[in-house]
Structure 1
């Protein structure tokens, strides 16, 4: 798999039916290793090891309804009170981050109401804080550590 703009992490792999699988420690199962999954697993490790988010507050690939359509988010991080603090949209490294990517996560966030949004293709990472009152986004230089989650 391609080198990504994250620290180096150690993953568990297995081969089955001529496909490589990677162990997802949030879902507690092996999943097929696709380019987007490679990015998603790096994001999870980054959240756990660099930003100190508790594993118990992270959720990966769950369905949500957006305008009556079934969609799947990549990663969310909850606050201890159950509200959503962070939504992450992952793309494969070959997919450039575009306005359509930001539109996608903004649509998801109309349902999720997260405070922080992250968009990444593993190479480029973008973070923004949602100001619900002013109905605008403020881009951040880095993702906040778990210590600021309230």
Structure 2
């Protein structure tokens, strides 16, 4: 059973319950309890951080959006849209014990080859990486911080 650990994100009042020797965390977006895995712990912290500290509306967040990649069905960890319904941020989360390597960046880049989203986030809850994609120039740049939501 995963025991929650402190992350390099602001703490928040997560709702954790124990049922049949398993821990569950309440997902504010889907409005239901989910098994508390290390990756879910990171995702829920990010959802809270993006909403409370960066002003991203919860109503524009989508968890595990489906996509087809080379005829395989995949799921992105978190997609965020703007008020026009355009995808603006794609996030990939790993467990805190998983090092952020080129493999994680390759995974989010592969997903983004389908989505074409200008802002990428990769995090294990300890290390965070942000990247802005310029599709016209076919280039990217790493950012020191994630931009706040702008309407």
Q: TM-score, normalised by structure 2?
A: 0.95
2:104 is the counterpart of 1:65: no
Report the Cα offset of residue 15 of structure 1. 1.4
What does residue range 1-150 of structure 1 map to in structure 2 within 5 Å? 1-147=4-150, 149=151
The ranges of structure 1 where at least 4 consecutive aligned residues each deviate by more than 2 angstroms after the TM superposition are: none
Unpaired runs of at least 5, structure 2: none
Report the Cα offset of residue 8 of structure 1. 1.1
Report the Cα offset of residue 17 of structure 1. 2.2
How many angstroms apart in 2 are the aligned matches of 1:20 and 1:115?
A: 35
Cα RMSD of the aligned pairs, angstroms, is 0.9
Unpaired runs of at least 5, structure 1: none
Report the Cα offset of residue 61 of structure 1. 1.6
